[in-house]
Amino acid sequence: MAHLELLKQWYDRVWVQQDLDAIGRFFTPDIEAQGVMDFGVGPDDFRVLAEALLAQVEISEIRFDREVEMGEWVWATLTVHAVTLADRRPVHTTGQIMVRIKNGQVVEAYNQIDFLTFFEQLGYLPPDSLALCLSGEGIAA
């Protein structure tokens, strides 16, 4: 299987189908995915993170907008389409992922997801939080 196809299967199985048991099949046990938190996240912590996010939204589609596959490496930009579980409002965010795949498993992962926009849409941050911060006004209550 091509590495890009494996990455697409990962997003479909874990995030869209919510098959969190699949995390261990796609990740090596010693992986530390970077970029989601301020520290590396292994398979067990990644499951907790996925549970927390999926308790708030239902993801209907993760669209791969651009992708590059070179040897063991895959890079992609993606768009996430979801709805809030509370009131079914649409949520959309974007991100980039770069992974190294070996023997059918992800051995390195580097993620950049626009969580600022994501949490604005959930109502946890005010609209235009980035603009508020850039203006020096901030978002503190």
Domains belonging to the chain, first-starting first, are 3-134 (3.10.450.50)
Going by pLDDT thresholds of 50, 70 and 90, the confidence category of residue 88 is: very high
For residue 106, pLDDT beyond 70: yes
pLDDT recorded at residue 71 = 95
Taking the C-alpha atoms of residue 18 and residue 25, their distance in angstroms, rounded to an integer, is: 14
Question: Minimal CA–CA distance to 10: which of 32, 38, 1?
Answer: 1
Tens of pLDDT, residues 47-58? 999 999 999 999
- Cβ–Cβ under 8 Å, residues 84 and 122: yes
pLDDT recorded at residue 39 = 66
pTM of the model: 0.88
